Amino acid sequence: MPDSDRAATRPLWVESADAESGLNTTSTLIPVPVDAGPIVSRALEEAAGRPTTSDRGRADGPRVRQVSRPLTALAGRTMLGVTSRLPLRGLHALARRVGDLGSVLPLRESRATRVNVALCFPELTETERRRFERESLEEAACMVAELGHLWLRPIDEILDRVVEVRGEEHLREAIARGRGVVVAGPHLGAWELLGLWMAVRYSITSLYRKPRVRQLEGIYWEARSRSGARLLPADASGIRASCQALRRGEVVGILPDQDPGLGWGEFAPFFGVPANTSTLVPRLASRFGSAVLLAFAERLPRGEGYRIHVRPGSAEIACGNFLAGARALNRDVESLVRLAPRQYLWSYKRFRTRPPGSPSFYRGPAESGRD
């Protein structure tokens, strides 16, 4: 088919052929906390050409309420510009000092980190736990500090910092099967770098969710689309587009470890703690027979670069039982986190939504729902 005809028939995706294998390596990245219940059920039916019932009000998931904070956006742009010009090694060293300071201040992030580490690593002594908390906050600070580099520096320069890729053959093999690939990339290491690497290597279409601060939207858009990624709205239409991508044997990338909110997921153990878990990955994988892979970009010490890991997911994720699939997915994510446990975003309130009647881990008084 001529290139012009090919482009006309696939307006939503950027296609590229891998130079070595010649494989179609189009992919779709979904970095948003949408769950699968009514959204995916409806999207799957629409992708199959069947009529659906309307369930608006829940169909598009929790919405982001934007606020106007121009000074916040100006400060953000300025900080990104400044940090993009500093050596990465020096930035990481400075960020670690900031993380050290944050570990002793009464910040929401440090409190959430303390709670999560105590829940997930009860075997640690008090001394070990405090050290883990401090080092985790250091890594979180490094993640923020390196955004200027990842979003503004030349793409070739950034990719040169990827010193090793472990397991990329799993991705190539999964693509070759032609039934679509779901790549689950949790909040571990440098996930912005992972998205950039995937976009350049495999051509990404991203579902885009608006940031809370309206003036930051342009920053996010420019940063995440400059690698060639195409951005789609993070709603039912975006889920429908990901279904269509899998039907064509393409790659869909999803953040699997965001709390989708009460009633939008299944409670499955994560480090032994019930975690409200999106069933999007199990639903898509079971519906289309797609392979599930897990991936993250490990941040190496002293600004030495990054190592990307790709691992095959458990077959049980696609078993058709979405609770069992969510449990298997969380086991796989936990296994990935244990490769670099301090680089997980422990400051995120992963256990924010609790089973009805259970007390909140983060605010004290008994409540169900969201903090």
Quick one: pLDDT at residue 64?
A: 53
Residue 357 falls inside a structural domain: no
Residue 284 falls inside a structural domain: yes
Percent with pLDDT over 90 in the chain: 55
Tell me the pLDDT tens digit for each residue of 50-86. 444 333 333 344 455 555 677 877 888 888 899 999 9
Residue 220 falls inside a structural domain: yes
Token code pair at residue 134: 């401090």
Quick one: pLDDT at residue 254?
A: 86
Residue 321 falls inside a structural domain: yes
Residue 271 falls inside a structural domain: yes
Average pLDDT, integer, range 331-356: 97
Tell me the pLDDT tens digit for each residue of 214-229. 777 777 778 777 877 6
> How far apart, in whole angstroms, are the C-alpha atoms of residue 280 and residue 292?
12
* β partners of residue 17: 24
* β partners of residue 184: 254, 294
More confident residue, 73 or 309: 309
Quick one: pLDDT at residue 203?
A: 65
Range of the domain at 239: 3-79+155-343
Q: Is 0.95 topped by the overall pTM?
A: no
Half-sphere exposure of 275 toward its Cβ, with a 13 Å CA cutoff?
27
For residue 164, pLDDT beyond 70: yes
Strands, E assignment, 97-224: 162-166, 181-184, 204-208
For residue 32, pLDDT beyond 60: no
* β partners of residue 254: 30, 184
- Number of structural domains in the chain: 1
Residue 119 falls inside a structural domain: no
Q: State the average pLDDT for the chain.
A: 81
**Across 145-154, 184-193, 243-252, least confident range:** 243-252
Q: How many CB atoms neighbour CB 324 within 10 A?
A: 15
For residue 163, pLDDT beyond 90: yes
> How far apart, in whole angstroms, are the C-alpha atoms of residue 131 and residue 200?
37
Q: In this structure, are residues 366 and 360 in contact, taking their beta carbons and an 8 Å threshold?
A: yes
**Residue 264 main-chain phi, psi, to 5 deg:** -115, 10
CA distances from 312 to 31, 170, 270, 317, 338 (A): 20, 7, 18, 11, 16
Residue 349 falls inside a structural domain: no
Residue 41 falls inside a structural domain: yes
